Amino acid sequence: MVVLKPSEITPLSTLRFSELAAEIFPPGVLNVITGEGDPVGRGIVTHPDVALVSLTGSVATGKWIARAAADSLKRVHLELGGKAPAVVLDDADPAQVAAGLRIASFCNSGQDCTAAARVIATPGIYDALLEELVPAAASLRVGDPPRATRSRWVRSCPRRSSNLCPGSSTAPRAAAPTSCSAVRPAARRGSSSSRRS
């Protein structure tokens, strides 16, 4: 038996998946529970009959799950939120890399644990890659995915700026993908050395 708790921000695709799965699996094999991490996620993790907890989520949540699961020696599998880098070396084709990153970074609204969330480029390709990558990211349209004139990438959420919301008529106003240029390679986290383009 599997108990699946999707993100409280994006539960609809999981609920639809469970409807389709119900046509294949016997009743009770796949169970979906929606709600906030606390109390719903906490209840799953601490339940005595749960033998394994798997999380795709934040480092803080992963640490909490590991501590809570240790009390009953539950097995734990964690895919923790990080910033999956794409490393670009001097011999790469900047146009091909930019085209690939346009998909790898923003496909599925960026809601993928393997999304290329940052780019690390060697000095020899940095400027050429930036010339290709900034317009590639800027070409993405954001908004309500069902509308024919819009792309499917929406990167805005009022609750947490790091999360993404599905487009809908009631969704918050969408923000365009942000391209940072003129970033010093030695820039440290939290510095204000970038400008938006």
Q: What is the pLDDT of residues 67-124, one digit of tens each?
A: 999 999 999 999 886 667 889 999 999 999 999 999 888 877 666 767 888 889 999 9
Q: What is the pLDDT of residues 146-176, one digit of tens each?
A: 664 544 444 434 444 333 333 333 333 334 4
Amino acid 62: pLDDT: 93
Q: List CB contacts of 96: < 8 A, sequence separation 6 or more.
A: none
Q: What is the pLDDT of residues 44-58, one digit of tens each?
A: 999 999 999 999 888
Q: Please name each of the domains of the chain with its CATH number.
A: 2-80 (no CATH), 85-196 (3.40.309.10)
The question of whether 165 is a catalytic residue gets the answer: no
Q: Of the candidates 164, 173, 161, 107, which has an alpha carbon nearest to the alpha carbon of residue 137?
A: 107
pTM for the whole structure: 0.51
Give whole-number Cα distances, 112 to 56, 151, 171, 195, in Å.
9, 17, 20, 26
Mean pLDDT for the stretch of residues 29-33: 94
Start-to-end CA distance of the chain, whole Å, equals 49
Q: What is the pLDDT of residues 100-113, one digit of tens each?
A: 999 888 877 666 76
Percent pLDDT > 90 in the chain is 47
pLDDT for residue 23 is more than 90: yes
Q: What is the pLDDT of residues 34-43, one digit of tens each?
A: 999 899 999 9
The question of whether 8 is a catalytic residue gets the answer: no
Residue among 8, 19, 79, 165 flagged as catalytic: 79
Cα angle 116-121-124, degrees, rounded to a multiple of 5? 155
Residue among 8, 19, 36, 113 flagged as catalytic: 113
Sign of CA dihedral 194, 191, 118, 103: negative
- The tokens describing 57, both together, are 């989520």
Cα angle 137-143-145, degrees, rounded to a multiple of 5? 100
Amino acid 144: pLDDT: 63
Give whole-number Cα distances, 75 to 4, 45, 49, in Å.
16, 11, 12
Q: Of the candidates 65, 56, 121, 58, which has an alpha carbon nearest to the alpha carbon of residue 94?
A: 121
Amino acid 141: pLDDT: 75
